Amino acid sequence: MAGPTTESCYVGVDVGTGSVRASIVTKSGKALASSTQETKTWRDPHDHHVFEQSTTDIWSRIGVAIKDCLSASGTEPSAVKGLGFDATCSLAVTDFGGEPVIVTKGEQIGGHGERNIILWADHRAEEEAELINRTGSVVLDYVGGKMSLEMEVPKILWLKKHMSPERFSQCQFFDLPDFLTYQATRDSSRSTCSLTCKCSYVANSGWQKDFFEQIGLKELSERGYAQIGAKDGEDVLIAGMPVGEGLSKNAAEELGLLPGTPVGSAIIDAYAGWLGTIAARFADDKQGLSEVPTIEESGHRLAAVAGTSTCHIVQSPSGIFVNGVWGPYKDPILSGRWMNEGGQSSTGQLIDFILTTHPAHPELVELGKKVQKPIHSILEERLEKLRMESGVATLTELTKDLHLYPDLHGNRSPIADPRMRGSIVGLELSNSLNDLAKKYHATLLAIALQTRHIIDTLNAAGHHISSIYMSGGQAKNAGLMQLFADVCGMPVVLPPDSGGAVVLGAAMLGRLADEFAQGGGGSRAKFEGGAGGEVVGHYGRDDTAWYAGVPKSLPKREEAA
């Protein structure tokens, strides 16, 4: 390995549903090193709604990942000029000293213990969400007309119902990205992204006292919202703004970095995917390399972040109200800009479920080991063979009698009903590998068709989406990406590293924090060049240069409220 790296660089941390990923990124956007560490999730064998995690476990995995990156790249801690986080929109609960508080139903709930995160996928708060959705509050206008049980307020209300008043009063409630900046700095400032997107903080008017009183959470307003966020938005920060005084001494030791390293205000993982992909340049056969897009042009691009679930992010200069689609949210990343967020509750998870529950799955795994190919490639080859043998033109025609509805874990958008369930119609009396291949294709097609449903709904409401920018693990699935291009009738642009796009967005927050901390808010803070990419389908392939537009100056705090 070469000598120690002293070039200025930035650390991004992405906390996903099942793992933590850290990356060290240069000013040019080049990743020097990356490390992924698995995290723990607890399930209740008697209640399939329950998904719980631990901030202690996640934080320790972050430390391992960052130290791995420093070691692998030879980067000196002094070269790291900024740190940024993104995470899933899960509810993290601590006391006011930062100690984790148990969220598991039972006698221990509200006491100190490891299981202190209600994961985004946890659906225990169905009754609480239904109560909220009967209020008719203005809050609902900014979540597509119906609040999801995946958001934080229904979960907080559930905790109040199952926790003693004494214990509940001692709790701090964080959207997970904000917990990470709190743990890093011990500053309790919250992000506009988390508060507006998941915590019922309304654009231009802030906290809605009447709403919290109406649903039975008057304690939050009576205490000046100290349990859920800063009073009247006083400490609400736009993405990348410096949090507190940077890394605390303890956090710096745990992460292997220097105290005082600037920490950028965090964002939800899907929004980091938007930041890391949406301004990419790409090439097609007819037009050549595209120009660096304007902020206005990026509004025609949908960022699809596809992992366990899929989120669909699009921005606009003014708020667009879309029934069944979350938002419009003001300032979640860029000051003065609005965003809508569609989503599918189960996509990667659905594909895994269809594969692993089929009787032929063990045979597929063994075949993959024998021929040393990914199982998805084997399935694609099997499907093509079946298509040719059947004498049909497309795989859709091959599976025309097999229909799969994908909402096995509820519908996030645009039907917005967590009680929706999936179905398969057209089953054959077969447990063969051929049957598994057909069900696999039907699953991919269902996911693509539902994406088309979401895009059509967004465009009908006033958006003008004309391309999809993918990131996340599913971007590796060439067959699925081609289906997106075909079904949605638009180009699908892929990053060269499908998993790295989101953590790149997090690293950008670290760079912004560094520039803002130095009084350099006039810079556009862009990550240029150094990355390759491809455009799916008939749009050809070429290199992609990544670029991120950010506020030209540090927004005033009152602009974020």
**Mean per-residue pLDDT over the chain, rounded:** 89
Percent above pLDDT 90 for the chain: 77
pLDDT higher than threshold 80 for residue 455: yes
Q: Give the pLDDT band (50/70/90) at residue 160.
A: very high
Dist. CA 104–CA 102, nearest whole Å: 6
**What residues contact residue 543 under an 8 Å CB cut-off, 6+ apart?**
283, 289, 531, 532, 533
Q: What is the mean pLDDT of residues 445-469?
A: 96
* 474, pLDDT greater than 70: yes
Q: What is the pLDDT of residues 521-558, one digit of tens each?
A: 433 333 332 223 343 332 222 333 332 222 223 222 22
Model confidence at 24: pLDDT above 90: yes
pLDDT at 199: 96
Please check the confidence at residue 400 and state whether its pLDDT lies above 90.
yes
pLDDT tier for residue 289 given thresholds of 50, 70 and 90: low
Residue 253: pLDDT above 70? yes
User: Pick from 41, 43, 45, 35: which is nearest to 54 by CA?
Assistant: 41
The torsion of the CA quartet 259, 261, 265, 267, rounded to 10 degrees, works out to -100
**170 exposed, middle or buried (CB, 10 Å; 0-12, 13-18, 19+)?**
middle
The 10 Å Cβ neighbour count of residue 196 is 27
pLDDT of residue 497: 81
pLDDT at 119: 97
**For position 5, what pLDDT does the model report?**
65
What pLDDT is recorded for position 127?
97
Q: What is the reported pLDDT for 450?
A: 97
The burial of 413, by beta-carbon neighbours within 10 Å (0-12 exposed, 13-18 middle, 19 or more buried), is given as buried
What pLDDT was estimated at residue 209?
Answer: 94
Full-model pTM: 0.89
Question: Rounded to an integer, what distance in angstroms lies between the CA atom of residue 271 and that of residue 348?
Answer: 18
Give the span between the Cα atoms of 479 and 487, in whole angstroms: 12
The listed CATH number (1.20.58.2240, 1.10.1740.10, 1.20.1050.10, 3.30.1280.10) that belongs to domain 348-451 = 1.20.58.2240
Q: Are 192 and 236 in contact (CB under 8 A)?
A: yes
Taking only the tens place, the pLDDT of each residue in 42-53 is 998 888 889 999
Q: Where are the domains of the chain?
A: 270-343+463-560, 348-451
CB 69 within 8 A of CB 35: yes
Phi, psi of 390 (to 5 degrees): -85, -10
β partners of residue 42: 52
Q: Of residues 66 and 479, which shows the higher confidence score? A: 66
Element (H, E) at 161: helix 152-162
Range in 267-281, 294-308, 526-540 the model is least confident about = 526-540
CA distance 292 to 287: 14
Give percent above pLDDT 70 in the chain: 89
At 505, is the pLDDT very low, low, confident or very high (cuts 50, 70, 90)?
A: very high
Task: Pick left, alpha or beta for residue 24 (phi over 0 → left; psi -120 to 50 → alpha; otherwise beta).
Answer: beta
Measured distance CA(302)–CA(36) in Å, rounded: 27
Question: What single letter denotes the amino acid at residue 543?
Answer: D
* Mean of pLDDT values over 371-396: 96
pLDDT band at 203 (very low <50, low <70, confident <90, very high): confident
